[in-house]
Structure 1
Amino acid sequence: MNNKYKKFCKYIKGRRAAVVGVGISNKPLIRWLAGLGADITAFDSHDESEPSIASTVSEFKADNIKVTWSLGGDYLKPLRDETFDIVFKTPKMRFTVDALETQRRKGAILTTEMELFLDLCPAETFGITGSDGKTTTTTIVYEILKTAGYNCYLGGNIGTPLLDQIANITPEDKVILELSSFQLLGMKRSVDNAIVTNITPNHLDFHYDYAEYISAKKNIFATQGATGKLVLNAMNDLTYDLRNSARGRVSYFSGDTCVTLRENYKNADIAFLDEEGYLCIQKPSGITRIIHRNDILVPGYHNVQNYLAAIALTSDLVSADDVVAVAKSFKGVQHRIEFVRELDGVRWYNSSIDTSPNRTINTMNALSERGMHGVLLCGGKDKQCVYEGLGDAILKFADRIVIYGSNAELIRQILDKEADGRKFEVFVIEGGDEVYELPDTREAALSRMKEAVDKARSLAKSGEVVIMSNVGTSYDHFRHFEHRGDLYKELVNGL
């Protein structure tokens, strides 16, 4: 047991702890705090009429975990009226909320599950953020380090919440975290080693503006030490410019030969794609070829870049053979160009993670690069993103587009604008472009999506591909992108 953890255990016993938001990461947080003897009040905007809340309340009661609940309506009232020692907020709540400011003035510690984990973690931490590619890159880093023989923990936006495992983590372990802008906003603790995959306009329906979104991303390395490592995308201007704010070592990755970059930064680790299609790493000692892009199991140029980022981050700790072993066997992450089934000669794919135009552009390019064509099923909730380039990318893959989502008109407009004489058909599912009250029932969500899947089936021909790549978030119809993807797969497998 590390000293920081021992100190926290001593501190928290008998203290009043507020946990705001009873979600995926905060449920195990409540259990963990209860086990350490904290006096816990849990807050959530939903009440027990929401099935997940009712289930959680019953679960804790059955396990004899004592929790005071403040649910629904004016659920933050106890934070305004009472005094707590420590407050854990949900990632999508700002520290500037009045109730939290009240607690700050009263002397409470304001933090999050992830920030406390980073404070207490004795192991070397690796964090990945960016507008696109976070989950896949995080998983690749985890798989490479695990293949190299390290005992690894995977967490953050993926894997499992790790704070309740802190007692088992040792200084020799490696912890790999996917971190979103929501988690990073206001965070005062950075990871030891970080990747910023890219920065494009995203989540502007939540952030005040683009500047705040960028500022949140920078927190992943803002308090790094001199020995920390920051890996930046040299092909993305905003990401590349972050080198001027770095506190530790800076490394780069680039999906091209980046000759000038390599000449200018000869003492930096730079992962790049050479003229013959090999993924390479340049270190002060020289250049090593690792694997040809065609030998990587998961498709797409964007996945080449994901591997390059992972190579740059792990180059001091693993061998080329470790990378090759993962690249030739790793099948990808669920909901990311995920093969579902083949039916009547048509191959069906699920890419529900494509919650922005840029993600769908990458998916369309990955398919068209491999000579695939067919039907696109798309649509979701807009995040005030830039749609430029989307129409062109879609029409390289599909000439039949089924739209089911509240951003239907935005997708139609960019298709018309960028068609450049290409012929295509658009089918907007009736009612599919509306926003529904959430949480939605499973039955209602299934019935509305079924029409879109049936339409795609009627349009597809043998030898073609049907893929769901949504261009928007799931929150117009579904609880989250996994919910959307799982229901889609259920429908496709039921055809």
Structure 2
Amino acid sequence: MSHYSKYRIAIIGFGVEGQDSARYFLGQQSKKITVFDKAPKENLNTKEYEEKGVEFICGPDYLSGGLKDYDYIVRSPGVYRYIPEIVEAEKAGVKVTSNTQIFFEESEANIIGITGTKGKGTTAQMLKRALEAGGKKVLFLGNIGTPMLDRIEDADTFDWVILELSSFQLIDLTISPPIAVVTNIATDHLNWHKDRNEYVGAKENLWKHQKPTDTVVFNADDEESRKLAKHAPGQVLWFSTKPVDKGTYLSHGSTVIGPNDELAGDIYELQVPGDHNIANAMAALTTACVTGVKPLTAWWGDPHKNGEKFEYDGICGYKGSEHRLEEVLERNQVLYVNDSAATTPEAAVAALRSFKQAKVLIAGGSLKGVSFEKLAKAIQENNVKTVFLIGESKGEIQKELEKVGYKGGILTDFEDMENIVDEARAIARPGDVVLLSPACASFGIFKNYKDRGDQFKKAVQNLNG
């Protein structure tokens, strides 16, 4: 019988991770399992769980009865760690945990954890290619791939498990993986975190508990990362556009040199645009080399012909992910690009710099307590002829655009994606790019960033003429 069998479990939040928790504790034969969620019960997938004895407390007052009658609280990532109900229960002796913490405690897998304000998803995808090119058996879990606890029993049968981890998942993590990767540290989710220090501190948990023999990979071109690296207990490796002593760097502006000064390839061989993707590729390369994969193998993999073209299994063969600088189609010599996964100003700035052509930009969404000053400057400096602003952040972005003296068009009266795309088509000229790169989360108008991107793609594909 499992060591969780005698405990009463409270699961807060019943999204993907909450359901993963429920399945896990059912398998553990826990004494009592109760799910708490602020959504109406009829909106949740409860039937199969209720049939197995899981109880549900739902609705706006879902936590009014408190959580002190449980042994463990399992917090879903979207639930703030320090809400009063959790804090009060913790003071009463209830243990607070998460799927991420449980996975780190219970699994014997070799884990590579990746975090950062932007680029962690792309870096994870590139790293998977690099490791597999080197003959490694790799499992994606967490934000990319299968929920963690569903694979806790067999994760250790893989050479490496890659976890892409957000600050929500890291805020109370007390164990660090043997390899940690930090793409960059800016500011995000200040509508969730108490302040910037808490946000950065959450990220820091990914490497703070490492042993001296463990490794953390940092971005030497990122100021905050350089500061944080000074206190890292593990071995530090770097990736940079400039020469570094330990890690991956660019020589003569484009040649990628891996750890130990071994040649990997050239940035012009990458299939995805933008300086940020060069950084992502170098982060993935550095990490793959830590596991023993040679730089050339990680970069190229096994070249093979597909028709008349050569394709590559390694990093340079990565062609992008859905909703990340995804080229939807070109119509009347106008390129339509879906970058709906750009939910921070920094990600949108990187997208703007990825295209030299004149651009029609669609931006805005929910407010997360971040500054749009850098976004406004990037719009001003990167050949944006018109900006469509949507969502509750449109007023804040417009203020910043006015401050920097932006002279292009600003349209704020559109909310329906089909109408926005139709109007963008009328404004764009041959050679232009219509770019959805919101710089914000999508809460309010769309279900999530995927729904937003899907609506954009559907509207583009339905354009006439």
Scaled by the length of structure 2, the TM-score of the pair is: 0.91
Does the 8 Å contact 1:31/1:65 carry over to 2? no
Q: Aligned partners of 1:386, 1:98: CA distance in 2, in Å? A: 28
Which amino acid in structure 1 is aligned with residue 265 of structure 2? Answer: I
- Are positions 1:13 and 2:5 aligned together? yes
Alpha-carbon shift at residue 215 of structure 1 (Å): 0.8
Q: Aligned partners of 2:329, 2:90: CA distance in 1, in Å? A: 53
- 1:440-467 Cα distance to aligned partner (Å, 9 max, x none): xxxxxxxx22221121111122332211
Residue among 401, 413, 416 paired with 1:429: 413
1:472 alignment partner in structure 2: 440
Q: Aligned partners of 1:399, 1:73: CA distance in 2, in Å? A: 44
Q: Aligned partners of 2:102, 2:282: CA distance in 1, in Å? A: 30
Q: Aligned partners of 1:375, 1:17: CA distance in 2, in Å? A: 50
- Are positions 1:167 and 2:153 aligned together? yes
- Are positions 1:272 and 2:257 aligned together? no
- Are positions 1:377 and 2:362 aligned together? yes
Alpha-carbon shift at residue 133 of structure 1 (Å): 0.8
Number of corresponding residues: 447
1:443 alignment partner in structure 2: none
Does the 8 Å contact 1:404/1:452 carry over to 2? no
Does the 8 Å contact 1:60/1:66 carry over to 2? yes
Does the 8 Å contact 1:429/1:451 carry over to 2? no
Does the 8 Å contact 1:297/1:327 carry over to 2? no
Alpha-carbon shift at residue 212 of structure 1 (Å): 1.0
Alpha-carbon shift at residue 406 of structure 1 (Å): 2.0
Structure 1 stretches of 5 or more lacking a match? 1-8, 433-447
2:258 alignment partner in structure 1: 281
1:435 alignment partner in structure 2: none
- 1:405-463 Cα distance to aligned partner (Å, 9 max, x none): 222233223333334xx742222225x4xxxxxxxxxxxxxxx2222112111112233
Question: What pairs with 1:68-107 in structure 2 (closer than 5 Å)?
Answer: 68-80=55-67, 83-107=69-93
Does the 8 Å contact 2:129/2:315 carry over to 1? no
Aligned-residue identity in percent: 30
Which amino acid in structure 2 is aligned with residue 21 of structure 1? Answer: G
Does the 8 Å contact 2:139/2:158 carry over to 1? no
Q: Secondary structure at the match of 2:16?
A: coil
Residue among 316, 323, 335 paired with 2:299: 323
Does the 8 Å contact 1:257/1:275 carry over to 2? no
Alpha-carbon shift at residue 388 of structure 1 (Å): 3.0
Q: Aligned partners of 2:367, 2:183: CA distance in 1, in Å? A: 22
Residue among 277, 281, 292 paired with 1:307: 281
2:462 alignment partner in structure 1: 494
Change (3 A) 1:406 1:288: same
1:57 alignment partner in structure 2: 46
Which amino acid in structure 2 is aligned with residue 409 of structure 1? Answer: G
- 1:243-281 Cα distance to aligned partner (Å, 9 max, x none): 222111111111x223xxx3xxx4xx3111112411112
2:53 alignment partner in structure 1: 66
- Are positions 1:227 and 2:201 aligned together? no
Which amino acid in structure 2 is aligned with residue 57 of structure 1? Answer: T
- 1:204-227 Cα distance to aligned partner (Å, 9 max, x none): 122111111111110011111121
1:202 alignment partner in structure 2: 188
Note the aligned Cα RMSD (angstroms).
Answer: 1.9
Q: Secondary structure at the match of 2:135?
A: coil
Residue among 356, 360, 385 paired with 2:344: 356
Which amino acid in structure 2 is aligned with residue 330 of structure 1? Answer: Y
Q: Secondary structure at the match of 1:485?
A: helix
Does the 8 Å contact 2:285/2:298 carry over to 1? no
Change (3 A) 1:164 1:311: same
- 1:186-215 Cα distance to aligned partner (Å, 9 max, x none): 221222211111111211122111111111
Which amino acid in structure 2 is aligned with residue 44 of structure 1? Answer: D
Alpha-carbon shift at residue 78 of structure 1 (Å): 4.6
Does the 8 Å contact 1:367/1:397 carry over to 2? no
Q: Aligned partners of 2:235, 2:341: CA distance in 1, in Å? A: 31
1:47 alignment partner in structure 2: 40
Q: Aligned partners of 2:345, 2:53: CA distance in 1, in Å? A: 45
Change (3 A) 1:401 1:106: closer
2:123 alignment partner in structure 1: 137
Residue among 147, 161, 176 paired with 2:133: 147
Change (3 A) 1:236 1:351: same
1:338 alignment partner in structure 2: 326
Q: Aligned partners of 2:400, 2:239: CA distance in 1, in Å? A: 31
Q: Aligned partners of 2:62, 2:407: CA distance in 1, in Å? A: 53
Which amino acid in structure 2 is aligned with residue 460 of structure 1? Answer: A
Q: Aligned partners of 2:184, 2:8: CA distance in 1, in Å? A: 40
Does the 8 Å contact 1:28/1:164 carry over to 2? yes
Q: Aligned partners of 2:185, 2:37: CA distance in 1, in Å? A: 31
Q: Aligned partners of 1:86, 1:382: CA distance in 2, in Å? A: 32
Does the 8 Å contact 2:127/2:315 carry over to 1? no
Which amino acid in structure 2 is aligned with residue 34 of structure 1? Answer: L
1:436 alignment partner in structure 2: none
Alpha-carbon shift at residue 60 of structure 1 (Å): 3.0
Does the 8 Å contact 2:259/2:286 carry over to 1? no
Change (3 A) 1:187 1:484: same
Structure 2 stretches of 5 or more lacking a match? 302-313
Does the 8 Å contact 1:129/1:196 carry over to 2? yes
- Are positions 1:192 and 2:178 aligned together? yes
- Are positions 1:411 and 2:386 aligned together? no
Q: Aligned partners of 1:336, 1:100: CA distance in 2, in Å? A: 35
Does the 8 Å contact 1:389/1:418 carry over to 2? no
Alpha-carbon shift at residue 132 of structure 1 (Å): 1.1
Does the 8 Å contact 2:323/2:341 carry over to 1? yes
Bigger drift between 391-400 and 299-308 goes to 391-400
Change (3 A) 1:77 1:11: farther
Alpha-carbon shift at residue 378 of structure 1 (Å): 1.5
Residue among 368, 373, 394 paired with 1:388: 373
Which amino acid in structure 2 is aligned with residue 410 of structure 1? Answer: E
Q: Aligned partners of 1:274, 1:410: CA distance in 2, in Å? A: 41
Q: Aligned partners of 2:390, 2:401: CA distance in 1, in Å? A: 15
Does the 8 Å contact 1:87/1:111 carry over to 2? yes
Q: Which aligned segments of 4 or more residues in structure 1 are displaced greater than 6 angstroms?
A: none
